[in-house]
Amino acid sequence: MDQVTLSTGTQSAIRALQQTDRVQSTNQQELATGRKDPRSDVIAELISRALNDQAADLASTKDETNSALNTIQAADNGLDAIEESLKLARSVAEQYQNTSDPAEQARLQEQFDTIASQIDALAADSRGVNGSLIASDAQDMTVSYGSASDGSLTVAASPSDSASLGLTLSVDSVDAALAQVRDTRQTLDSAASTLAERNNFTDAMQNNLEEGAADLVETDLNEDAAQALSLQTRDRLGVASLAMAAESNRAVLQLF
């Protein structure tokens, strides 16, 4: 069987069409995904992945911070309720000090004990994602910032049940318990403020990393759309060129 030999013009036209087809394929992929072809800039692709990994690490750190904030909020809610109970206890203590009637004192003692039990229950129930900071068995909570500096914040536990508050049936005892509860709330609010600021910083860093990663690999859709039109024109010209080359070949063959 005789081998078919294409003319130089035909071969050039075919190669041009093949090249256009490859570029069109890449162009269509970029239009569909909004991302540059990874093969066009391997270094940029690797850097983008590294930046996205760092952003994901920060997101994980923020989850830990949010869990800590949830736990602080639970303790704060519990302290609010405990403070209200202590105000009731103070009223009972005042009444106790102002009466010498044994029966009345017994009734007030029972009422005070009931309030103390309510305080114990409130402290025990004030648990967030990371447990309780004010229950009788509360433990310190350490929150890692997950940054290059390995920074962290330790939120001290402050048991606020009746025994830990040293609560007894006296006005002075209740006043001391109220002061302790308010000090604890102030400390927790300060920690919450620090963690909230850290969250804002983490958000800014995460957004910056994600934007940087996107800038490296995301394509300009307007530019790609313009290129698509240009490639369509080039393809039509290539087809026309191939047809002309084929016609030229036929004309030459007719001479023989």
pLDDT digits (tens, 9 = 90+) for 216-242: 666 655 665 666 666 566 666 555 555
Gap between the Cα atoms of 159 and 133, Å rounded: 7
Q: What is the pLDDT of residue 50?
A: 82
- Reported as a pLDDT band with limits 50, 70 and 90, residue 255 is very low
**Nearest of 22, 13, 25 to residue 239 by alpha carbon:** 13
CATH code of the domain occupying 45-217: 1.20.1330.10
- Average of per-residue pLDDT across 235-250: 58
Q: What is the pTM of this model?
A: 0.67
Instruction: Provide CB contacts within 8 A for 173, sequence distance 6+.
Output: 93, 166, 167
Cα distances (Å, whole numbers) of residue 130 to 127, 168, 181? 7, 30, 20
Q: Would the pLDDT of 100 be above 90?
A: yes
Is residue 103 over pLDDT 80? yes
Eight-class DSSP state of 145: -
